[in-house]
Amino acid sequence: MFFLTLLFFCSFIFSGQAYSDDQVTSLPGLSGPLDFKMYSGYLDASPGTHLHYVFVESENDPAKDPLLLWLNGGPGSSSLLGFFTEQGPFQLNGNSSLDRNPYAWNKVANVIFLESPSGVGYSYSDSGNYSHSDDSTSLDTLLAMKSWFNKFQAFENHSFYLAGESYAGVYIPTLSVRLLEEPDINYVGFAIGNGYLDQYLLGNSIVRFAYYHGFIDTQTWSKIVSFCCKNGNESPDSCNFANNTDIKCIEVVNDANDFIISIGLNSYAIYDDCATEELNYSSEIQSLRAESLESWHLVHNIIRAIFYKNSEIKTLSFPCFDKEDLNNYLSRSDVRDALKIPKNLTDWTFFSLNVTNNYETQYPSLKKQVIASIKAGKRGLIYNGDTDMVCDFLGDQWFSDQLGFKQIGKYKPWYVDNQVAGFVKNYEGFSYATVRGSGHTVPEYRPAAALYMIERFLSNKSLA
């Protein structure tokens, strides 16, 4: 009995030490003290792998509110982007000061931001090897979460949700099916924003998205339909823009790709202006031309090819996407010290080209994983900002329709502050929603709608 009491006491001391070692008491640029608890530290994944996390307790009722893991995409994008530019509690100003975010998701939930996989942001491996795959990433994330629950044992019975955007459309479903085998984790559901959920469907939808938003003229569209659709009949079932082997189809779609990429359009939010000077695309497109004719003849994959796969590009630059202020802030020594970052690590960048260039994608579609999760009783939300062309709403809505779950009710609008915030379609076990006027990163472009949407989801209430 004495031994058990001592063991319990030691476990309590260890848990408390984990809390105190990682607690952040102040952040440079923030006026005034933190009025909620914040932690930053490292979680152990596979041997020698250390994933950096930031955790903020709920401003409402941390002892009762749900727990949410947030993952940004890429592969190679840091979840600290989410923390400082989307739904985190702070927003960075140009003068390196921090403002409070009135639409932070920790208004309604305890939120973990995980930099995954290793090599992203301040996550690292002892070996320096940053070759990853979809499966190894989901395994490391699961192991990291087990490490987190070991540190924060007070949260082990909280309802646990996954959320993320973009390539998290792969991260979340692959992690979700692993969590189905973890009864000790109270996993409840997932929310995926502008997700890279199905390569083929997004490949087919993006061409239509471009035409119906005025980026392709009628003559070019007529050629595309003639060469890429059966009997020249334009419909989702008869057209194949994604992996068509007809050389005429490939060439005309490539011509449309080249035009869209060259004009300096913000593909992540088509009605927004560009925040940066554009790259000269001509040499990159020319060097990829042979590869494009074989397998990269989509706007979506051409963009990925230029910025992710071209070995001639040594530094990463995204058109219209400027995060230099955040790079500078998170690389400051006082900020690193506040976040408990080892001094031997290199400066923070929002995107790791090293990870992306050594990443193995394994799942062209995530239907199997999403279906398994919903059938296991996990609630789902798939949502899209409707001005994003990179992972557009058409492809993800087709994906939702094809999962095979019965639709409940009609497609209808949902509202925030008496204004149409988007449209929603409910199915047995999950919902699909659009967010009106939002780009790729919904909590950044439509913060009020994003907070309302996630609060309704966590409360198991329909948007409409």
Ordered by start, the domain boundaries in the chain are: 22-198+364-458, 216-264+277-309
Closest CA to 110 of 179, 53, 37: 37
Is 52 assigned a catalytic role? no
- Name the CA dihedral angle for 439, 444, 448, 452, rounded to a multiple of 10 degrees: 80
Closest CA to 40 of 70, 72, 18, 13: 18
What's the length of the chain? 464
Q: pLDDT per residue over 300-353, tens digit each?
A: 444 444 333 333 333 444 556 667 889 999 999 999 999 999 999 999 999 898
Which H or E run includes 218?
helix 218-228
| pLDDT computed for residue 302 by the predictor | 42
% of the chain exceeding 70 in pLDDT: 86
Question: What fold does the segment set 22-198+364-458 form as a domain?
Answer: Rossmann fold (3.40.50)
Question: How far is the C-alpha of 154 from the C-alpha of 169, rounded, in Å?
Answer: 29
Question: How far is the C-alpha of 38 from the C-alpha of 312, rounded, in Å?
Answer: 40
Q: pLDDT per residue over 181-195, tens digit each?
A: 999 999 999 999 999
| pLDDT computed for residue 231 by the predictor | 87
Which of 166, 176, 400, 438 is the catalytic position?
A: 166
Closest CA to 42 of 339, 323, 247, 393: 339
Phi, psi of 41 (to 5 degrees): -175, -155
Beta-bridge partner residues of 41? 53
| pLDDT computed for residue 298 by the predictor | 38
Mean pLDDT taken over the chain: 87
Is 226 assigned a catalytic role? no
Is 440 assigned a catalytic role? yes
Q: Give every CB contact of residue 174 below 8 A, 6+ residues apart in sequence.
A: 134, 135, 137, 138, 363, 366, 369
> 461 by DSSP, 3-state: which?
coil
Which of 52, 158, 300, 440 is the catalytic position?
A: 440
Which of 388, 392, 431, 438 is the catalytic position?
A: 388
Cα-based distances in Å from 167 to 141, 365, 391: 14, 12, 9
Q: pLDDT per residue over 362-409, tens digit each?
A: 999 999 999 999 999 999 999 999 999 999 999 999 999 999 999 999
| pLDDT computed for residue 378 by the predictor | 98
| pLDDT computed for residue 307 by the predictor | 39
How many C-alpha atoms does 411 have within 13 Å on its Cβ side?
8
| pLDDT computed for residue 145 by the predictor | 98
Instruction: Of 171-175, 273-277, 331-335, 359-363, give the lowest mean pLDDT range.
Output: 273-277
Question: How far is the C-alpha of 381 from the C-alpha of 402, rounded, in Å?
Answer: 15
The more confidently predicted of residues 219 and 243 is 219
Phi, psi of 294 (to 5 degrees): -90, -50
